[in-house]
Amino acid sequence: MNKTMTQNDAETTEREALQKSSGTQRCLGLDLIKTIAIFMVVVYHAEAGNYANWGIVHYPHGLRALANYAITGAMAVCVPLFFLVNGALLFSRPLKIRRHMTKTLTVVVLTFVWSCITQASFEALGLWNRMSFPDMIRNTYHLQDRLNNHLWFFCALVVLYCLFPLLKSVWDHERSWFLCFLVIALVCTFGVTLLRNGIDVARLLFGAAGKPSQIDPVGPFNPLRGIEGWSIVYFMLGALLFERRKQLVGRKTLIFSSLVFMFAMLVFCLYNLSHIYAGEQGYDHISTGYDDVCVLLMAVSLFIMLVNCRFTAAIGKLLSFIGSNTLGIYVIHWIVLGAGRALGWDFPGHITFLIPPYLLYGLIVMTICALMCWILRKIPVVRRLIMM
């Protein structure tokens, strides 16, 4: 018993030392992942996904349409990557409960503030009807599609941050409980989705394809229902992957991760195409895939491929700047894209039947937002709007 306690104490001490060392040095691999993730988010919100969906509906057998659909489908990893990075960062640092609760309350306040700013901006741009302040508050509690529904991400973060002190405690002192809860969360989220996907594929094979299955064998017993439970899985996996990042290096790991990513991307694309060919023309193959096993595999494999990347000082400085401003870019890009629609800048889809124009448009919007963040950070009080 004493021997076991000594081993546990040694492991705990080693983990604490790793946490302290990891907290003092910025990981550029995580900044790269955050940069790619926010870029994908901007491109997705620039209607690239809807454009690819339109192309596959009208040209179901066109190679360009299929390529566009597959590429945009891979963007489903954008939000999962953010949750992976959040888990990697939070679990690798000592928990200071007062600071953490302040951070959680800050996210709640920022949700309301940016919801009101966004609604006022859309009203001024003529993209939404006139609203009173009480209307804006109600719209924050009940997020409105194409108005402020992008702030659902903040709501999911608050849930994770409320659970984090408990998860951090078992992570530090009882790792087996942590792994047990991770398995339960996997079954209750991705396991349910996998069952639904299997039913959909079976229906397709037997000529009875229809709307995506909504069966839920866990039902009212699911402890993660109604709270974006899949985000907890990514959050916890981020902690595990980041802790073992030094073991996830080498050519074999890179090749294996690349193969897993491409295989999962292909299967995910084929599954989504089955819905399109079955008549589900409005099927969103990006936002509906966050709790899909294929997206989980893509996100994890991409995280493994990128987390240990190293860069020159100049590139590292750029990634560090973008990585530290993803919050600001996230809330600002929605308004910039709205301004673009109000001014008739919806040009990507009219240039050519390809995705690259959307990628260029997304890069331009992200650059504008990053510059705005740089300016806002220099204003003492206002900078708190883009910082946590």
Residue range 154-171, pLDDT digits in tens: 999 999 999 999 999 999
Alpha helices by DSSP H, 220-309: 230-243, 251-277, 293-306
pTM recorded for the entire structure: 0.89
**Cα–Cα distance list, 230 to 96, 175, 304 (Å):** 26, 20, 19
Task: Locate 264 and state its tokens.
Answer: 């999962």
* Cβ count near 236 (within 10 Å): 24
Q: What token pair was written down for 15?
A: 């983990």
Note the pLDDT tens digit of each residue in 316-334: 999 999 999 999 999 999 9
Give Cα separations from 268 to 77, 142, 197, 231, 272 (angstroms): 12, 31, 10, 19, 6
What pLDDT score does 11 carry? 46
Mean pLDDT of 75-104: 95
Please give the distance of CA 125 from its chain centroid, rounded to a whole number.
Answer: 28
Per-residue pLDDT at 5: 42
What average pLDDT is seen over the chain?
A: 87
Q: Which long-range contacts (CB under 8 A, 24 or more apart) does 243-249 make?
A: 243/15, 243/18, 243/91, 243/92, 245/29, 245/307, 245/308, 246/308, 248/304, 248/307, 248/308, 249/308
Q: Residue with structure tokens 């084929």?
A: 270
Token pair in block for residue 371: 């510059």
Predicted confidence band of residue 375 (pLDDT cuts 50, 70, 90): very high
Quote the pLDDT of residue 56.
75
Summarize pLDDT for 303-319 with one digit per residue, the tens. Answer: 999 999 989 999 999 99
DSSP codes joined into one string, 170-222: HHHH-HHHHHHHHHHHHIIIIIHHHHHHHHHHHHHHTT---SPP---SSGGG-
The pLDDT of residue 281 is: 65
| Whether pLDDT at 188 is above 70 | yes
Instruction: State how far the Cα of 254 lies from the Cα of 24, in Å rounded to an integer.
Output: 27
Q: What's the pLDDT at 209?
A: 65
Report the percent of the chain where pLDDT is more than 90. 63
Tokens found for residue 20: 């302290």
Q: Structure tokens of 335? A: 């308004």
- Report pLDDT digits (tens) over 228-282: 899 999 999 999 999 999 999 989 999 999 999 999 999 998 888 887 777 666 6
Q: What length does the chain have?
A: 388
d(CA 50, CA 54): 6
Domain coordinates in residue numbering, the chain: 30-386
Residue 375 CA to residue 368 CA, distance in Å, equals 11
Question: For the segment 109-150, what is each residue's pLDDT rounded down to a tens digit?
Answer: 999 999 999 999 999 999 899 999 999 999 999 999 889 999
Q: Are 31 and 89 in contact (CB under 8 A)?
A: no
